[in-house]
Structure 1
Amino acid sequence: MLPSTDDSVLEDTIGAQLDSEIASLKAQVQTLKTQRKTQSTTIISSRTTQTILSRLRASQKTTSTRSSQETDISPLLSTSTAQLAHNQENLYRSCAGITTFRIRDPDPNAVDDGNVLGIRFDVSTSGKFVRPYYVMLNKPWAGKTLLRIHRHTVPSCIPLASLADRYLPHGKGAAAMGDKESGAKRQDLTRFVRALRREIVGYHNRVSVIKGLRKEFKLDEKVSRKGKERERVIADISVADAEAKQVRIEWVDGRIGRAVVDDKGDVKKCVVIGEEGRDREVERRVCAGGMEGIGERLREGIY
C-alpha cells in the first residue's frame, strides 16, 4: 500500500523541523565553544591572573621543596606564555599593518650589491589574520635612486602593476623621492604602500562579505529534504570577477542578477533579469546601500 500524499507532506514537515532543530543545536554548541575560548583568553590575559602565574613561576624554581602530590602547573604556565606571545603579535599586527625591513639578495650578480627593501602587509578578515603579503623593492639603475618592484607575493587580483606605474614611475623623466628635479614624475613610496594596502583590505572585505551572504542564506549546506528545498529562495551568490568587485546572485525562480561594487564597498550598479525582463524593484533595493546590507535588503523583498 502506497503512502498517501498527506503522510508524505507530514514526513517532510517533521524532517524539516528536525533538521532545523539539529542546525540550531549545532549553532548553540559552536557559540558556547567560542564563548568559552574568549573567556579563557580574557582570564589568562588579565593582570590578576598574570600576577598569580608569576608567583607560581617563582615557586616552581624551588622544585626540591615541592611535594610529589602538588599539582603540576606546567601546562597552565605554557598556555599563559603562548597566550601572551599571541596577544603581543596581534597587537603589533593590528597597530603596524605595514612594516619595512632590509634583506640582501644572495645572488652575487644582484644589482645594487644585493640590497633589497622589503615591505610586509598584515591584513585581518573575519577576526583572523591572513598570511602576510610581501613586496620587495630594489634600485637596479646605477647612479639613480629610483625604486622598482623586485619580487612580490601579492595575488594577481590586486592591481599591483597599475599602482606601481602611478606611484613608482621609473621611465624617462621620473625622479626618486627627495630629488629636486622640477617637472618630473616623482616616486612616492608612502602613497604606493597606502594604496596597495587599501586594495588588499578591500579585496578581503568583499570576499568576506560574499562568504557571509552564502552562510546567511545557507547556500553551502547540503539539501536533503523537500520541505527544506522549498524554503530556499536564493540559489547562489558568488564572485563574478577576479577582484571580487562584481557579485552574481541567482534566485530559485530563474532570475539572475549582477552587482558592481566600488572600492568603498558600496553597490554602484545592479542588473536583475528574469523571464519577464528586468526586475527594477529588486535592482533599486540592492543598490540602496553597501555590501554589508545586501542580505537584509534581499530578505525585505522575499518576505
Structure 2
Amino acid sequence: MLPSTDDSILEDTVGAQLDSEISSLQSQSKHPLRTHPFHLTPLVLSLKAARKTQATTILSSRATQATLSRLRASQKPTTSHQTSSETDISPLLSSATAQAAHSTENLYRTCAGITTFRIRDPDPHAVDSGHVLGIRIDVSTSGKFVRPYYIMLNKPWAGKELLRVHRHTVPACIPLAALAERWLPNGKGAVAMGGKEMGKKQDLSRFVRAVRREVVGYHNRISIIKGLRREFKLDEKVSRKGKGRERIIADITAADAEAKQVRIEWVDGRIGRAVVDDRGEVGKCVVVGEDGRDREVERRVVAGGMEGIGERLREGMY
C-alpha cells in the first residue's frame, strides 16, 4: 500500500516534536541530565541519527517519489489567504529535492570513482598553452566519502602526446612517482619513451586505476586499524578498577606511512608486527616476548585477512 501524503507530513511533525522535547530537557536546570550532559549526548546523537536514516529511507522510496510527483503537479501557489486547514508542503518538497540530488551524487561517486575534466592554467607562460587534464578520484571508507583526490596532467613536450604529472593532491605515502614511471613513461633528457624508440607506450587508463587501487587499499587499511582500536577500546581511558584491568592489547598502530605494516603491543610486553599486502591479507607476522617468539599467535594472525584479526587475537585470550 502506498504511503499517503499525511503520513509523510506526520513523520516530519513527529520529528519536530522530538527535537522540541530534547531542547526542553536540555533547558531544565534541575534535571539530572543537565548535571551530567555525557548521559544525554549519546541519546541525542542516536535519536537524531535514527531520525535522519528514517527520513532518508522514506524520501528515497519509489512510493514516496510517486506521491511527491503528484503533489508537485497539483500544488497551488501559496497565498496570504491560505486557510489553517491547508498544509504548506513546500518544506517537504524541498527536502525531497535535496535528498534526490544527494542520492544522485552518491550514486555517481560510487559507480564512477574516476572522473576526468579539462582546466586551463592561468599562467601565460604555462606549457601547452595552459591546457591541463584533471583527474578526480573518489574513495569511500566506513560508509562515508573522503575528500576527493586530484591529479593534474599536462603535455610539456611540443609535438608529442606524452603526458606528465603536473600537480596532485594524492597522499605522500602513495607511490605516485613509481606508478607514473611505469604507466606514463616519458623518458629523461633527449630520449622520450612512449614512442617506437624504447617500445614503451603510455597507458593513462592503467595509471589511474593503479593509483586509485593504492588509495583505496590505503584507506581500507587505515579504517581496519581504527576499527581494531575501537574493538579493543584502546582510545578509551583505562580504569584501574573493573574491566580496565582485563585489557590484553595495549596498542595497535600503523608501523609505516602506507599502513602496510601493523604494530601490535600486548600488555604483558609482547610486541608483534604484521605485514599486509595490497589485498588486505596478512602475509607475514612476527611476535616477540620475554620468552622469544610466540609462534602460536603468529600462526593465528597470519591465518586470514586484516578484517578478522580482532577475533583471531581473542582466540587465545579467553
Both structures adopt the same fold (TM-score exceeding 0.5): yes
> Counterpart in 2 of 1:4?
none
Q: Deviations over 1:72-109 (max 9, x none)?
A: 33322222111111100000001100010111100000
**8 A Cα contact 1:139 1:145, kept in partner:** yes
> Counterpart in 2 of 1:43?
58
> Counterpart in 1 of 2:300?
285
Gapped runs of 5+ residues in structure 1? 1-22
Q: Which of the residues 288, 309, 313 maps onto 1:294? A: 309
> Counterpart in 2 of 1:13?
none
2:316 is paired with a residue whose SS is helix
Query: 2:51, 2:303 → 1: CA distance?
Result: 38
AA aligned to 1:74 is: S
**CA deviation after TM superposition for structure 1 residue 63, in Å:** 1.9
**8 A Cα contact 1:120 1:135, kept in partner:** yes
**CA deviation after TM superposition for structure 1 residue 68, in Å:** 4.0
**Larger RCO of the pair (alpha carbons < 8 Å, separation 6+):** 1
> Counterpart in 2 of 1:190?
205
Cα RMSD after superposing both structures = 2.3
AA aligned to 2:186 is: H
**CA deviation after TM superposition for structure 1 residue 182, in Å:** 6.2
> Counterpart in 1 of 2:27?
none
**8 A Cα contact 1:174 1:186, kept in partner:** no
Deviates more, 1:290-299 or 1:58-67: 58-67
Query: 1:26, 1:105 → 2: CA distance?
Result: 48
**8 A Cα contact 2:179 2:210, kept in partner:** yes
Is 1:109 aligned to 2:95, yes or no?
A: no
**8 A Cα contact 1:135 1:151, kept in partner:** yes
Q: How does 1:59-208 map to 2 (within 5 A)?
A: 59-64=74-79, 66-171=82-187, 173-176=191-194, 181=196, 183-208=198-223
**8 A Cα contact 1:138 1:148, kept in partner:** yes
> Counterpart in 2 of 1:251?
266
> Counterpart in 1 of 2:67?
52
Gapped runs of 5+ residues in structure 2? 1-37
Query: 1:246, 1:29 → 2: CA distance?
Result: 38
**CA deviation after TM superposition for structure 1 residue 186, in Å:** 1.1
Identity within the alignment, %: 77
2:256 is paired with a residue whose SS is coil
**8 A Cα contact 1:174 1:187, kept in partner:** no
| Aligned length, in residue pairs | 278
**CA deviation after TM superposition for structure 1 residue 35, in Å:** 4.4
Query: 1:26, 1:227 → 2: CA distance?
Result: 24
